[in-house]
Amino acid sequence: MQESGIEVAVELDMSLGESPVWSVERQTLYWADINNGHVYAWRPQEGGAPTRIELDEKVGCVALADSELVAAAASGILRLSESGEPERLAANPEWKKERQAGQGNRFNDGRCDAAGRLWVGTIGSDEASPTAALYCLDRGEFTPRLTDIRISNGLAFSPDRRWLYHTDSPSRRILRYPFDVDSGTLGEGETWVDLETLGLPGVPDGAAVDSEGCYWSALYDGGRVVRFSPEGELMAEHEVPCPHPTMVAFGGADLRTLYITTATQHLDAEGKARWPLAGSLLQMRTGVTGLAEPSFGG
């Protein structure tokens, strides 16, 4: 385990912090607290507390969209602006289908590809049944691309645009799919990383890819962030001062700061006392640059 150098960026008490995304143009970090329906915005160079948008439903992830944001809320994809009501871009078919029974699969992890498509997955309402899917929103068309998933997570794209990375978290495996950025089509997936084989704890959660093509994954319930080479070899482990890191994103003026969201949702009072940084936004300086995050193209 490498010396992490991880410290607090913003002290918070998030239930399920997730989906950090950095805007190079705005020099702003955005992220969500899923369970509380909060979307945060923070400009680290200015210091101070982040601003917050409060939605009336859970929000799985956020993505950049011109001067605005797109949020995958429980019931559908929303365009958020600083003023005015959110605009609904697409409904969540899994939420609508089951809502009468008081259940439904909400949206979870997602991001945009280099062509401006929004890829977003769902999470099974019991987190155990393979009823979730990975969807793509492309010029108004919202279609499923992968199915029979329990918890859709770990979505990322290689810098050369040849691979889409994805995990069904409980499987403890990260898969990669041949990806055609022009058409948005996927090839047959293959197991790229197997945490069981590597003896790593936890499950793969949210991820980011750096400029060298290496994949950084937050291991939920594993208390660490790991880095894999483009060939899927474990290159580094960085211990996180709480058991539930959820996702990572590169940001800062030089794209060398790794931001890490965390959660308190599975900690009791004793656990929160033991891990006082749980629920905060953390950060770590790295020796490699990240990639500028694409924006949603509509």
Could you give the residue numbers annotated as active site?
205
Closest alpha carbon to 290 in 69, 6, 21: 21
Helix and strand totals (H; E) in the chain: 3, 25
Q: Do the Cβ atoms of 34 and 16 come closer than 8 Å?
A: yes
Decide: residue 85, CB within 10 A, 0-12 exposed, 13-18 middle, 19+ buried: exposed
Tokens, residue 92: 């969540």
End-to-end CA distance of the chain: 42
Q: Which of 97, 93, 67 is nearest to 79 (CA)?
A: 67
Residue type, 230: P
Q: Strands 68-73 and 76-80: what pairing? A: antiparallel
> Comparing C-alpha atoms, which of 212, 215, 132, 218 is closest to residue 175?
215
Residue 63 and residue 266: Cα distance in Å, rounded?
Answer: 26
Sign of the torsion formed by the C-alpha atoms of 67, 69, 70 and 75: negative
Distance separating alpha carbons of residues 32 and 21, to the nearest angstrom: 10
- Alpha-helical (H) ranges within 147-254 are 195-198
CA 245 to chain centre: 11
Report which residue type is found at 123: I
